[in-house]
Copies of this chain bind each other. A is one copy, B any other.
């Protein structure tokens, strides 16, 4: 039996070149950088990785690069959702050949399916996939996978875990109650870093956290402190992580805030696939200045030359937002003028 998935997996953002194509060079460098900073696994083609905005061929190329560049240093959990069951199973086969550790498959989206349909969908995949499958529950974007359905699907050996992005600690408890007694090897990953510590405390095995693509040092430290029982220290960092997470999440449409942040770590990720309006382009410049201040506080980048407003712990978040607004106002005026 394969090792249980655990720790912090990075849902990889994808760098693009000036023509809007995958920037393979930067992607490979970025993967090395992440692994060197201690992420426990990679997760290409997740929501953070904007899998819906790439073509079938591009999604395959992304996983291929990830598997090659990893060459076994850390596990690769490859997002394999395609247009329908047949195409998804085909992707499973390809990713198995590429050497991925397992695939993660988001529940059917666009249509909101009933639990029975969600079951039928994953059942078909479980029966035909040559590679281990992780369910991916993200009720904000896709058909929810409820606890009884997870329980039924856990009867398939091929299904080895679930990644849940609901952010609901009680739901995590319910899943664990329902599944762990019959499948102790089943892996529970959370996709919501704003609740990373509480999720680990109630029994999650780890998480796939977009912020680990920006500050892998920090998410690793929170994971290690929490699993070592040093909850109070972990919580101090958790609160600061939420500050960063909220700014990235709320100042732009997901995942543009994360793209803006990762650039500050020294990677040219290029323009995203979703076009930005003029207003949004101005906002993004302002957002980056604020993010630079937050990242400087973590000691991972230099502060901006023009300096940062004084920020005192978590309370600073509001100040940061005020600064954001002020900067945005200023830039908009200049932009319009």
Looking at the assembled complex, report how far the CB atom of A80 sits from the nearest CB atom of chain B, in whole angstroms: 15
Contact of A273 among B84, B119, B246 (CB under 8 A): B84
* Chain B residue contacts of A86, Cβ below 8 A: 20, 273
> Are B275 and A124 in contact, with the CB atoms below 8 A?
yes
Whether A54 is near chain B, meaning CB under 8 Å from some CB there, is yes
The interface size bin for chain A is 35 or more
> Is the C-beta of A83 less than 8 angstroms from some C-beta in chain B?
yes
A296 proximal to B (CB < 8 A): no
Q: How far is the CA of A270 from the CA of B329 in the complex (A)?
A: 38
CB <8 Å contact, A87 and B55 = yes
Contact status B195-A169, CB under 8 Å: yes
Select the stretch in A66-74, A93-101, A129-137, A198-206 that faces chain B.
Answer: A198-206
Look across to chain B and name the residue whose beta carbon is closest to the beta carbon of A313.
Answer: B181
**Do A318 and B20 touch (CB < 8 A)?**
no
Which residue in B121, B140, B177 is a CB contact (below 8 Å) of A315?
B177
A109 to chain B, nearest CB (A): 5
Q: Is the C-beta of A18 less than 8 angstroms from some C-beta in chain B?
A: no
Q: Are B83 and A112 in contact (CB under 8 A)?
A: no
Does chain B have a CB within 8 A of A116?
yes
Contact flags (1/0) for A167-183 with B, using CB distance below 8 Å? 11110011011101110
* CB of A4 closer than 8 Å to a CB of B: no
Q: Do A243 and B177 have beta carbons less than 8 Å apart?
A: yes
Residues on B with beta carbons closer than 8 Å to the beta carbon of A273: 84-86
The answer for the CA separation of A275 and B202 in the assembled complex, in Å, is 35
Contact of B242 with A177 in the complex, beta carbons under 8 Å:
yes
> Does A314 touch B at the CB level, under 8 Å?
yes
Residues 255-290 of A, flagged 1 when their CB comes within 8 A of B and 0 if not, give: 000000000000000000111110110000000000
Asked if A53 is at the interface of the complex by the 8 Å CB criterion, the answer is yes
A66 to chain B, nearest CB (A): 19
Report chain B residues within 8 Å CB of A55.
56, 83, 87
Q: Give 1 or 0 for each of A105-120: 1 = CB within 8 Å of chain B CB.
A: 0001111111011011
Supposing A198-B201, A201-B231 touch, asked if A116 and B174 sit within 8 A by C-beta, the answer is no
Distance A26 CA – B270 CA, assembled complex (angstroms): 46
> What 1/0 mask marks residues of chain A from 45 to 79 whose CB sits below 8 Å from any chain B CB?
00100001111100000000000000000000000
> Can you list 28 A-B pairs, Cβ within 8 angstroms, ordered by A?
A54-B83, A84-B273, A110-B110, A111-B253, A111-B254, A112-B140, A113-B253, A116-B280, A117-B276, A117-B280, A151-B318, A167-B168, A167-B169, A169-B169, A169-B198, A173-B194, A174-B246, A177-B242, A177-B313, A178-B315, A180-B314, A181-B315, A182-B315, A195-B198, A197-B202, A198-B199, A198-B201, A203-B235
